[in-house]
Chains A and B, each alone.
Chain A
Amino acid sequence: MGYQLDFGKVLRGEYLDLILQGVQTTMVLFVLSWVFGLVLAIILTVVRAIEFRPTQLLVAAFVEYHRNVPVLIQLFVWYFGFAVVLPDGVNDYLNDIGAEIGYAIVALALNKAAYMSEDFRSGMRSIHPAQMEAARSMGLTYLGAMRWVILPQAWRLALPALLGQTLILFKGTSLAAGIGVAELSYQARYIEEQSFRIFEAYGIATAIYMLISFAIMWLSAVLSDRFRLRVK
């Protein structure tokens, strides 16, 4: 075949810098989307728990949109679609500071918020309503019952699903390459184009993804076990 594997060709100089920048951008996307996603998920869960039909429907529509449209298309909607709504001046400014990554974080965070809020909700739903009634009849207020009885169980029930979402989000950051964010898979593609070192470029990127994914999986297993709801 005449193809000699040589990882040294890719793991030095300019290419090494690009890979490291790629990893950094991937991690920035991952961490920021995760934090924003989680915060928004909590807000959505609270809004949906309040008995007011219009806002409940709004949250439900938000969740269904994000669950039934591909993430890549959600990125396109923000990147291509939202930009035209903004005035030209704002767009020029955004493009100067690198708008792609901002749009990617917004899209990924909104997407994860939808999924995570569903995980919270199903965690809450699996607690029998009688627990709330019992807590209330013992004299706890609604918020007190939430704080001391419902939530301590609900978040433990939701945890494995949330950790699963975390891994999916980490892998999902690769989709940002579709709107030109220079994260890890984008850099791998670029290095491959420049150097024709296909196996080295994709091999290294794949290895880095696997390494971080395994770390997330391991941490998930540890946390899920540590905080498992133990019912007698």
Chain B
Amino acid sequence: MLEIIREYGLMLLVGEYPHGKLGGLALTLIISIVSLAVTFPCAVLIALARTGPLRTPKAIASGFVHSVRAVPLLMLIFWAYFALPIVIGFPIDATYTLILAIVVYQAAYLGEIIAAGIEGLPKGQSEAAKALGLGYVPTTFRVILPQAIFNVIPGIVNQLTTIIKESSLGSIIAVSELSYVMLQVNSNEVTKPLQIFGILAATYFILCFALSQATNWLERRIANRRTGRVVVEAVA
């Protein structure tokens, strides 16, 4: 196992980077963070449409969320990778099609998380804003969203874990992220699949386990802040 790490460790981290395209763990992280960053504004829009007063945006957002949740991510990836270039008339890099598919897929899930954050706020918040004479836009962007998004930060970080795991599907359309690199290593070293996929699984595990521990910690912090409880452990 150590031999494999010694020989392919750098490849696992950055792919063929100095001599070729960036890949491996670095690409997995870039894909995941870019996907989350692009998903976030889309998800906020969907959440606002879902919880807002207008009927048409509400129906469209609800239709989008339900449809996306009914389709496997792999299907969306196939659409983005094989069908989209024909529709728009020019080829796109596989990495971008992967990000696009993840963004569409996650927008539905993250949108629901943020919508839950908005609905979880006490009604008094928007009523008080209204009583102070604030319109819909300032109420939403200065009163509701800052609190709602703060409260769902654990959910958002948790979605990052999900996106990291989902980005492994890039290996099916030859995006040279972590899983794809290790599949290549496996076809070089045909005799050690257990070690190679063990290392691959361990890499994902360390990353995602750390993130989910961070999520738990954030959840406790935010719950304490919301209920006004003092963190005693710091004193004791």
Q: A residues near B, CB below 8 A?
A: 1, 3, 64-65, 67-74, 76-77, 80-85, 167, 171-175, 177-178, 185, 188-189, 192, 198-199, 202, 205-206, 209-210, 213-214, 217
A80/B78 in contact, CB under 8 A: no
A177/B197 in contact, CB under 8 A: no
- Report which of A83, A188, A202 forms a contact with B193, defined as CB distance below 8 A: A83
**Residues of B57-71 whose CB lies within 8 A of A:** 66-67, 69-71
Q: Please list the 7 inter-chain residue pairs (A to B) with the smallest Cβ-Cβ separation, ordered nearest first.
A: A213-B70, A174-B72, A68-B208, A70-B168, A80-B193, A70-B165, A171-B72
Greatest chain B CB density within 10 A among A85, A172, A174 is at A174
Q: How far is the CA of A72 from the CA of B194 in the complex (A)?
A: 15
B166/A185 in contact, CB under 8 A: no
The verdict on A72 contacting B201 (CB below 8 Å), with A198-B83, A210-B70 known, is no
- Report which of B73, B79, B83, B197 forms a contact with A73, defined as CB distance below 8 A: B197
Closest CB of chain B to A4's CB: distance in Å? Answer: 13
Q: Is B95 an interface residue (CB 8 A)?
A: no
Closest CB of chain B to A98's CB: distance in Å? Answer: 19
B79/A85 in contact, CB under 8 A: no
Contacts of A173 in B (CB 8 A): 72
Q: B residues near A, CB below 8 A?
A: 66-67, 69-75, 78-79, 82-83, 86, 89, 161, 164-166, 168-169, 171-172, 179, 183, 186, 191, 193-194, 196-198, 200-201, 204-205, 208-209, 212
* Nearest chain B residue, comparing its CB with the CB of A164: B69
Contacts of B82 in A (CB 8 A): 192, 198, 202
* Nearest chain B residue, comparing its CB with the CB of A173: B72
Q: How far is the CA of A173 from the CA of B72 in the complex (A)?
A: 9
A71/B193 in contact, CB under 8 A: no
The verdict on A188 contacting B78 (CB below 8 Å), with A70-B204, A80-B193, A81-B194 known, is yes
Closest CB of chain A to B203's CB: distance in Å? Answer: 9
- Report which of A68, A85, A185, A210 forms a contact with B204, defined as CB distance below 8 A: A68
- Report which of A74, A167, A189, A205 forms a contact with B69, defined as CB distance below 8 A: A167
A68/B205 in contact, CB under 8 A: yes
Given contacts A70-B168, A81-B197, 5 further A-B contacts (CB under 8 A): A1-B86, A65-B205, A69-B165, A202-B75, A206-B71
Q: Is the interface of A mostly helix, strand, loop or mixed?
A: helix
- Report which of B75, B169, B171, B194 forms a contact with A206, defined as CB distance below 8 A: B75
Q: How far is the CA of A47 from the CA of B67 in the complex (A)?
A: 38
* Nearest chain B residue, comparing its CB with the CB of A3: B86
Q: How far is the CA of A173 from the CA of B74 in the complex (A)?
A: 10
B169/A77 in contact, CB under 8 A: no
Q: How far is the CA of A83 from the CA of B198 in the complex (A)?
A: 13
Contacts of B205 in A (CB 8 A): 64-65, 68-69
Q: How far is the CA of A71 from the CA of B73 in the complex (A)?
A: 12
Q: How far is the CA of A174 from the CA of B161 in the complex (A)?
A: 20
Contacts of B166 in A (CB 8 A): 70
A77/B198 in contact, CB under 8 A: yes
B168/A73 in contact, CB under 8 A: yes
A175/B193 in contact, CB under 8 A: no
Q: How far is the CA of A167 from the CA of B71 in the complex (A)?
A: 10
The verdict on A81 contacting B169 (CB below 8 Å), with A65-B205, A70-B179, A217-B66 known, is no
